[in-house]
Structure 1
Amino acid sequence: MRAPHLAIATAVFLTIACSSGKKAYERGDYYEAVTQSVNRLRQNPDHSKSLEALKNAYPLAVEYYEQEAKNQIASNAPLKWKSAIESYNTINGLYELIRQCPGCKKVVPNPKEYYAEIGPLKEKAAEESYNLGIDALMKGNRMEARRAYFNFNDAQKFVPGYKDVVEYLDKAKFEATLKVVLEQIPVPRRYDLSGDFFQDKVESYLRNTYTETTFIRFYTPGEAKGENLQVIDQVVRIEFDDFSVGNSVLREKTETYSKDSVRVGEAKVNGKVVPVYNTVKAKLTTYHKEVMSQGTLSMVVTDAKTNGVLDHKKYSGQYVWVSEWARFNGDERALAEPQLRLCRLREQQPPGPQDLFLEFTKPIYNQLTSGIRGFYQNY
């Protein structure tokens, strides 16, 4: 059997809407039998199979978790008080489910709850979690510090402000956090504004992704110095290895077009005015201008203590700005409408170097953030 909380029980409702609870009862899963039958009775208070399942399963579920709590309290398990509270909270969850189900009162008029009994256990649960936190923190490594943090957090939940748990929470969080210094090498002076924008965007991503709820923190070199950071675990170095901005190519193409049977005028024949048809021609010159910007960024992750390379990746990006226009000599009737639309265009000036720099770094930014996320997903 399992001991989910009330929120999990609510989620179960969404997936078992048509179950009466009878099958769960028959296989000995009394908790699920109760939750399924309660859900069905909320929809149909007179559903006979659900009433029977609830009547049979509820006392057995309560008995099971009561015994679980007693067994934990009698054991030498390191978190026995926490486990006992969880078992009693499971019974309380069933109490709330039945209390909010009018049809359930027919077979369970007085559901059992353990709110009063949990109170005295919280002090003991806080003490055991606090002591386990101290033991883990004294081992002096990052993974044990993370374990200590969760134990201190449990102690704080059981008894807010227990001893000096708030201070130890901060200490454990700091020691459990992987501290990474992000070094971004500036681009040449001509592109300072765009380079700063790229750097700010990367730093903003890291701040928003690796928040106080994670065990990874990224520092700029200035932040690490300002906080007098004594221990650095890793260094991430980001640098544009190579890039070019504004390489221009102009392609020009001239073709002659003709169209037959085009009315070009009128003439008198035997005293009558008749249309004159002929072949019209036009010489069309089309222009295709491309301004290409591209570059490669290198990301190297090193161990701050050994200088060993932990990861090294390169990311490339490209942006091509295009302008097309055309000119013609001759009769415009020889040209199709798309060609005429092109002739109404004029050569456009490309964006400035800084804007071009920003454009080709957009795909690099996406690759870089994905690479960082992938590397640190297991930390």
Structure 2
Amino acid sequence: MKNISRLRYFIYLSFIIIAGCTTGKKALQKGDYDAAVSKAVSRLQSSPKNSESLGVLPTAYNFALQDHLRKIDEAKATSDIYKWETVMYNYQKINQLADEINSCPACLTVVPAPSKYVSELAESRLSAGVARYNSGIRLLNLNTRPSAKNAYYEFEKAKNLAPDYKDSEAKMDDAYWAAVTRIVVQPIIINSSYYKLSGDYFQQQIDNFISNYSRNKFVIFYSEQQATKQKIVPDQMLSLNFDDFVVGQTYVKERVERLKRDSIVIGETRERKPVYGTVKATLSIFEKNISSSGLLDMTITDWQSKKIVRQQKFPGTYVWRDSWASYKGDDRALSKQQLAMTRRREVAPPPPDVLFLEFTKPIYSQLAGDISYYYNNY
């Protein structure tokens, strides 16, 4: 019985705690007036006669209204160029509280006419947009790439706040092109017709990467053909050249193993009983490695000063492997795996252009990663 009484007590206490939280009383006591209004409204929507919420709502609403109006007056008195966004935010909060109360019939019995500042909100939004526009003009006039980038974002905010104010969208476009870094990527030159197809494929991968690059909107890559056709004056040149590459270095290694196995049936007696003995064999294992490697140099040069702003080297290696074996002696001395290896024959290696392509794969991966790392936050 005592346990049942305790359980009832805890359940009753839990209901009291939950009820206290949902009426808005605790939020009011903590000075979180907006939350107190929202909680009281929510409670009165489901329980219109809740006395505690009916008592909390007018007090919480009055405190919330006065708190937002105070913050509006304080913001207007400052010299902060972005003060109108603070003013706008507080008017939005006041209007939001009014909308919440107006959606609750029981709430209107204790707060019959919640204040709304529609025209004031519209005016503060326009003023906030004008402030962002003026800030964008100031930044754009500094004529630097970082300031133009910041100006772009200012005009973007101005357009969102005050869509019809002056020429925000046109100015945003001006700021964008003033902030953009134009990079012309020179093609890789491979002085060998033997590897032309593989070199073209490697170049195509790079072209696809730069044409699809979109991580940083203020960085645009052009091929030399695009730059010439569009008459682009670059900010930087990105050149790629192989310092060296070697294709098809061949290494063949032979390993000889002498094998023997005991207790193998090697015959039988006249009575047809098995005769056990030792069998032997010499196993020759051949391993062929064909290595191809290269070192790609990436150099980024400032177009005007001709200074190198970044230089990296990316190594790549690919090793093609083959193995087979032969034996002399009794094949019963060999394991199943060894015997299977003796049945293999030497395989013809891939052609040189394929080997070239294989060693460029890790180079491309490093190159793409480094370009992204360098330009993503440029």
Q: TM over 0.5, yes or no?
A: yes
For 1:336-351, list aligned pairs within 5 A: 336-351=335-350
In the aligned structure 1, how far is the partner of 2:95 from the partner of 2:131? Answer: 23
Consecutive unaligned residues in structure 1, runs of 5 or more:
1-17, 42-48
For 1:7-86, list aligned pairs within 5 A: 60=63, 63-86=66-89
Consecutive unaligned residues in structure 2, runs of 5 or more:
1-20, 45-51
Aligned amino acid, residue 339 of structure 2: L
Q: In the alignment, does 2:289 pair up with 1:290?
A: yes
Q: In the alignment, does 2:266 pair up with 1:264?
A: yes
For 1:171-320, list aligned pairs within 5 A: 171-188=174-191, 189-210=193-214, 214-230=217-233, 232-268=234-270, 272-320=271-319
| Counterpart in the other structure of 2:159 | 156
Deviations 1:147-201 (A, max 9, x none): 2211211122123353322222211101011222222322233222222222232
**Count of paired positions:** 356
In the aligned structure 1, how far is the partner of 2:324 from the partner of 2:53? Answer: 76
Aligned amino acid, residue 312 of structure 1: Q
In the aligned structure 1, how far is the partner of 2:167 from the partner of 2:359? Answer: 52
| Counterpart in the other structure of 1:4 | none
TM-score of the pair, normalised by structure 2: 0.77
Quick check: 2:130–2:162 contact (8 Å CA) kept in 1?
no
| Counterpart in the other structure of 1:371 | 370
Deviations 1:244-284 (A, max 9, x none): 1111111122322111110122221xxx2211212112221
Aligned amino acid, residue 208 of structure 1: N
Deviations 1:340-375 (A, max 9, x none): 232232222222222222221222222222322333
**Percent identity (aligned):** 38
Moved more, 155-164 or 285-294: 155-164
In the aligned structure 2, how far is the partner of 1:317 from the partner of 1:98? Answer: 68
Distance 1:90 1:357, change over 3 A: farther
In the aligned structure 2, how far is the partner of 1:60 from the partner of 1:258? Answer: 97
Moved more, 257-266 or 73-82: 73-82
| Counterpart in the other structure of 1:119 | 122
Quick check: 2:314–2:363 contact (8 Å CA) kept in 1?
yes
**Secondary structure of the structure 2 residue equivalent to 1:202:** helix
- Which is greater in Rg? 2
Moved more, 160-169 or 252-261: 160-169
Aligned amino acid, residue 329 of structure 1: K
Deviation at 1:123, TM superposition (A): 3.1
Aligned amino acid, residue 308 of structure 1: K
Q: In the alignment, does 2:351 pair up with 1:352?
A: yes
In the aligned structure 1, how far is the partner of 2:115 from the partner of 2:372? Answer: 47
In the aligned structure 1, how far is the partner of 2:79 from the partner of 2:316? Answer: 60
Aligned amino acid, residue 159 of structure 2: Q
In the aligned structure 1, how far is the partner of 2:203 from the partner of 2:276? Answer: 67
Distance 1:297 1:279, change over 3 A: same
Distance 1:307 1:97, change over 3 A: farther
In the aligned structure 2, how far is the partner of 1:259 from the partner of 1:97? Answer: 91
Quick check: 1:186–1:192 contact (8 Å CA) kept in 2?
no
**Secondary structure of the structure 1 residue equivalent to 2:350:** coil
TM-score of the pair, normalised by structure 1: 0.76
Aligned amino acid, residue 219 of structure 1: Y
Aligned residues: CA RMSD: 4.2
In the aligned structure 2, how far is the partner of 1:167 from the partner of 1:262? Answer: 92
Deviation at 1:40, TM superposition (A): 12
**Secondary structure of the structure 1 residue equivalent to 2:265:** strand
In the aligned structure 2, how far is the partner of 1:342 from the partner of 1:39? Answer: 78
**Secondary structure of the structure 2 residue equivalent to 1:299:** strand
Aligned amino acid, residue 195 of structure 1: G
| Counterpart in the other structure of 1:15 | none
Deviation at 1:288, TM superposition (A): 0.5
